[in-house]
Chains A and B, each alone.
Chain A
């Protein structure tokens, strides 16, 4: 079975400071990892993904994520937070071993608040 944990329900950061939203995962095969963002009353929007290759993945709106296989983590980062980054962030995983289904398992979400 595959699973995702986002250990923080909420993260508060001052505008201009770096931000990190944490995610750890568990899969039996190779992980395909994703980050999505949800603004109020909207659907989720894709930010970035890790499939294979470089451990540092760059995505939309200046976000990046670092894949760490030994720690089974995929933390979302941004060097300088904006107030407009305030939203709900979801980490998600698929098992890339080829034996699994199409199911994408989501974490419970982390609410990011950037304080002016």
Chain B
């Protein structure tokens, strides 16, 4: 059981270049998330997808776009990389069921091992 898989593990970009970070989960989770981790700032939510077909902005969405390709896959795209986007990026998923009118908040997140991105 692989859990949450992120690719690539490391990437170096020049300012202005674009790239897509890939994430896939094999736990049949409905919800997926992209976080960035910076020293002294903890984890900050970039975008999330509550269920297949939906995406929403998190705390720090500027400069990023996402695609929920299917239930398993959730990608993060940097259209024009900037040095401020140097960070470690984590994808996560959780089992949050969505019957109409209800939401469940007590499911823990399952994280991938991260992508270390450096923008020069």
Q: Which of A43, A94, A109 contacts B42 (CB 8 A)?
A: A109
Q: Check A103/B103 contact, CB under 8 A, given A43-B112, A43-B113, A46-B109.
A: no
The range of chain B's interface size is: 20 to 34
- Count of CB-CB pairs between chains A and B under 8 Å: 61
Chain A contacts of B113 at CB under 8 A? Answer: 41-43
Q: Tell me if A32 and B106 are in contact (CB < 8 A).
A: yes
Return the chain A residue nearest B112 by Cβ: A43
Q: Which of A9, A42, A102 contacts B48 (CB 8 A)?
A: A102
Q: Check A96/B105 contact, CB under 8 A, given A43-B114, A102-B50, A103-B58.
A: yes
Q: Check A103/B112 contact, CB under 8 A, given A44-B90, A51-B106, A108-B41.
A: no
| Chain B residues packing against A (C-beta within 8 Å) | 4, 31, 33, 40-45, 48, 50, 56, 58-59, 90, 92, 96, 103, 105-106, 108-114
| Chain A residues packing against B (C-beta within 8 Å) | 9, 32, 34, 36, 41-46, 49, 51, 90, 94-96, 98, 100-104, 106-109
